[in-house]
Amino acid sequence: MASVNYNSQIVIIGAGCFGLSTGYHLLKRGYKNVIILDRSSQLPAPDAASTDISKIVRSSYADILYTRLAREAISEWKNTQEWADSYHQTGVYCAMAHTDSYTDQAYQNDKAVGAAVEPLLNSKDIRSVFPSAANVSVPDNARGFINRDGGWAFASQGILRMMDKVTTLGGKIIAGKAVSELCRSDGKVSTVRCADGSTYEADLVVLATGSWSASAFPNLGLDTKCVATGQTVAFVQLTPEEAELYRACPVYLDFHTGFYAFPPNKDNIVKCAIHSGGFVRKIKSANLDVYISTPRTVASDGEDGLRIPRTALKSLRDSLVRIYPDIGSKPFCGTRLCWYTDSPDDNWVIGAHPDIANLVLATSGSGHAFKFLPVIGRLVADAVEGKLPPELVRKFAADRAHAHGDVTEPAIRLAPPADLLEDELCTPEDLLPVPLSSGWATGKL
């Protein structure tokens, strides 16, 4: 790692969760010259994973490192002076399969750190954590647990609050700066060059470009370490009266199937999604003879970039109708491909690039980074200063050996990503519910 001091020129590429949190924590430690560049002319970037109406905030992990760190993050989220009403402590209900080592271990870890968790041993117990007026379908043999401390965050608002924190401390955030080249000298990045011709000298560069990390910088060799995967999301618009029936629901989370759903937000929208292997869209790099998964979003393809595969839409409909039959029988009002940056083992990539001394990687959130927005930059700042504990240096190293398939990873995430095929994407007609007689609305499938 290149040595830095409080007067060093630090350029952070990417104004999402990793980039903003890193900038904030570096500024808090006294670094004076922190610039954050982002490709999007609008911030928060409309197609960033962190630009969203809701993200789960949970401490229920099978890896106790994340459990402990999430507890710290939740404590921060609850500070309304810092985050206003970004955080909603609705609780998180974790459904269990009969053989579910991940969820069992997550429950044990929550207990070990003193989280407010309650086992739910039967359908009656589970039904009791949902409001009585909500139509919730619970199988007779269901079990699970609820973490009362968890909930969800209004992600876009959280990003805006963090942007304010960065600028208040003297950091600069510059939109519309797509970085085209990291100019090197003597094995280090000396200058960051943007597509518009502007340049920024740098003593240290932090690459926090999320799912564009590999495709935007093909020469860095990140295509197997930072894989862009599209994850499927759908939304249902409720009336105000309907929304009130479900407002007090906990977040529904099933690690076994990957399905999760939120209670209605202030606009009475219910979001549901599947956390899985996702989809890849491999495009040949213009500079190298290699195909790299590249996001297809509202920025690259307009509204068409929001469409998801029909098969995924059906899975979302099936899952939603089985849990919330009335909500599941309504039309989807929209969809989105939310692009993760996946590492092979679902651990983040934080630390020095193997070959470039003053380039720090802060990426591969693997679909579970946003909840740590208040604290994740502290880990990156520790890596910059050489203070990251050795076990975390190894855990987050870009060139680490991967133990894919460990109990610390939900089984559904082991599924290899499928190819994203444009002729298989949903149309507006696919968002409509099927007739009641089919059983979709009753859950009798």
pLDDT one-digit tens code per residue, 217-250: 999 999 999 999 999 999 999 999 999 999 999 9
Domains in the chain, please, with CATH?
Answer: 9-419 (3.50.50.60)
pLDDT for the residue numbered 146: 98
The answer to whether the Cα torsion of 151, 250, 233, 85 is positive or negative is negative
Residue 47 has pLDDT above 50, yes or no: yes
Q: In whole angstroms, give the CA distance from residue 130 to residue 128.
A: 5
Angle formed by the axes of helices 64-77 and 101-112, nearest 10°:
60
Backbone angles phi, psi at 359, to 5 degrees: -110, 115
> Rounded to an integer, what distance in angstroms lies between the CA atom of residue 59 and that of residue 70?
5
What is the number of other CB atoms lying within 10 angstroms of the CB of residue 85?
Answer: 10
- pLDDT for the residue 403: 62
When mean pLDDT is compared across 44-53, 297-306, 408-417, the lowest value belongs to 408-417
- pTM of the full predicted structure? 0.95
pLDDT at 289: 85
Which residues lie below 8 Å from residue 389, measured CB to CB, with a gap of 6+? none
Average pLDDT score over residue span 82-101: 93
Give the model's pLDDT for residue 444.
Answer: 30
The edge-to-edge listing of strands for the beta sheet with 349-352 is 172-174, 33-37, 9-13, 204-207, 359-363, 349-352
What pLDDT is stored for residue 379 in this prediction? 98
Q: Cα Rg for the chain, rounded, in angstroms?
A: 22
Q: How far apart are the first and last CA of the chain?
A: 56
In degrees, rounded to 5, the angle at the alpha carbon of residue 90 between the alpha carbons of residues 85 and 94 is 140
**Tokens 């050795």, located at residue:** 390
244, 199 Cβ separation under 8 angstroms: no
361-412: per-residue pLDDT in tens?
Answer: 999 999 999 999 999 999 999 999 999 999 999 999 999 987 655 656 788 8
pLDDT of amino acid 2: 67
Q: Do the Cβ atoms of 53 and 44 come closer than 8 Å?
A: no
66, 128 Cβ separation under 8 angstroms: no
Q: Note the pLDDT of residue 1.
A: 64
